[in-house]
Structures are given as C-alpha cells and as structure tokens.
Amino acid sequence: MMPIEPATIATAREKEIALVAWLRERGRVAIGFSGGVDSAYLACVAVDALGSANVLAIIGKSASYPAAQWAAARGVADRFGVPVLEIDTHEMEDPRYAANPANRCYFCKTELWSLLVPAARERGIDTVIDGTNADDMAGHRPGAVAANENAVESPLLIIGLTKAEIRALSQERDIPTWAQPSSPCLSSRIPYGIAVTATRLATIERAEAALRELGISGDLRVRYHDDLARVELGSVELERWLEPEASERLAAAVRNAGFERVAIDLRGFRSGSLNVLTGVSAA
C-alpha cells in the first residue's frame, strides 16, 4: 500500500467534513454494505455523523458473496456499532444474470436494490446510499445504472473521495479494511459468456480461501477457465510463489479445491483482467 502524501490527507479530511455535512442533510440513511473498503468507511462515518439509530447497513447475501467477506463486514459492524440487516438476494435465479453477459452486474444490482430500497423504506429510511467512489467511474461498471434506476445515491462519488483517500481516512479511524484489497464479487472471476453457477462460484471461493490459508496476502484472484484456474497475484507475491517449491504447494491447494489444471498469470494481478481477455476493455 502506497503511503499517502500529507497534502492528500489534508484534502481528504476536507472532503470527509463535506461528507458528514451531506449525510446530516439526509438525517437517516441505509447503506448497501458489503464490508469492502468503501462501504465499511461510509458506514462508520455515517454512524459518527448520524448516530447508529439513524443508520442501517444492509448486506445482500448470495452465492457470489464470499463467506470471508461476510465475516469481515460483520466484524466492522460489530466493532463500530453499525446496525446490520441481512437480506438474501436471488440473482443466480435470473437467467439474464446466470448467462453472464458483459452487463451481468446490472442484473445483480437490480436484484440487490429492488430488495434493499423497499427494506429501507419499510423502516422509514428514504435515503439509500452505496460505496461507489470517485475512481469507480473509470472502469466498466454497468451496476451503476441499476443504482441510478433505483434512486441510490453515491456520496463518496458526489463528494469526490478517491480510493486512496478512503483508505487513508479509514486508517485514521482504525477501520481494519483500510489495507484490504479490493474485493469484487466471485462472479467477476468467470469470463463473460460462461455461465455463472453456484458450483463454479463455490470452487473459486474454496481455491481463493485455500490460497489465503497458505499465507498469500494482497491482491489475489482465481480466474475460472473451465478446467483451468489462472491465479493472479500481486507483484511481491508473484515473485515468491513462482519459486519451485512454493508453486507446487500453490498448485496442490488449487487442485484440492476442485480445479484440474493450475497456472500463474505471468503479469500478475490486474483489476478487470477478464474484461481485457474477453475484449470488453482495452489491454
């Protein structure tokens, strides 16, 4: 994690003041809460700004949401007094989602918000927000369309907080997610056009969990290519796990999770790697 410059943290603090003001204007908020860096920060600031009685963090649970992520979300909520509501989502039952088109995230988020927004309204909360930040608009993000259609607001984006600033402010608040790698849903490991199934997601989740147990830290993706798992690691871990003995242990762990063949990507971790592979984004 790159250290943040003093000037940057000063700017970030000013933005946080603006974020608190924005939240106070709303009075009560419900947050789409995954326990990732952004929504964890947003939930903690909201509790500080509004009090826990005026905040509800809603977790949408499904097969594409890793158990480790759920545990991290609950850990942050417990520690910082964030009230949580858990809702089961059923995007896997939507054939438009399961077919895994390039706009798959749109169908997932449509399902998510179609459940979360009414749940918030039933509890007298009119403002529903998410953790989209100022960096997020650069990539391929069809899920943002679903948020707009459901009147979900993105205060981190509105205020202009970047991922680096959110990490720095999270560190100041001692929120454990500050150094957590980005953690998109498990379906992002499956190339577009290859069906998303509960079995495939479970295999990917087992493989990534097994690699974490081996001690791999930082960015990690197990990309699904039918019988083959293509493992993407951050640059430091890549160096380490290409060593002969280490690579044998890595391969064994991934095979035990259910893949027949295992390969390490020679360039290492790239966010949106499968978008490049399938031609959705430029290389």
Which residues form the interface with another protein (CB under 8 A)?
A: 225, 228, 230, 242, 244, 247-248, 250-251, 260-267, 273, 276-279, 283
13 or 261, CB closer to another protein? 261
10 or 266, CB closer to another protein? 266
Minimum CB–partner distance for residue 140 and another protein (Å): 15
Minimum CB–partner distance for residue 66 and another protein (Å): 23
74 or 240, CB closer to another protein? 240
112 or 250, CB closer to another protein? 250
Minimum CB–partner distance for residue 214 and another protein (Å): 13
Minimum CB–partner distance for residue 228 and another protein (Å): 7
Instruction: Give alpha helix (H) positions in 193-241.
Output: 198-213, 235-241
Minimum CB–partner distance for residue 260 and another protein (Å): 8
57 or 204, CB closer to another protein? 204
Q: Where are the beta strands (DSSP E) in 45-102?
A: 55-61, 84-88
Q: How far apart are CA 253 and CA 206, in angstroms?
A: 9
Element (H, E) at 232: strand 228-233
Q: Which long-range contacts (CB under 8 A, 24 or more apart) does 87-95 make?
A: 87/58, 87/59, 87/60, 87/61, 87/115, 87/116, 87/119, 88/60, 88/61, 88/62, 89/60, 89/61, 89/62, 89/115, 90/62, 91/62, 91/64, 92/62, 92/63, 92/64, 92/196, 92/197, 92/198
Element (H, E) at 32: strand 29-32
88 or 245, CB closer to another protein? 245
Q: Contact 249/257 with Cβ under 8 angstroms?
A: no
- Token pair 């997610």 is found at 177
Q: How far apart are CA 265 and CA 231, in angstroms?
A: 6
Minimum CB–partner distance for residue 65 and another protein (Å): 26
Minimum CB–partner distance for residue 265 and another protein (Å): 5
Q: How far apart are CA 201 and CA 223, in angstroms?
A: 11
119 or 263, CB closer to another protein? 263
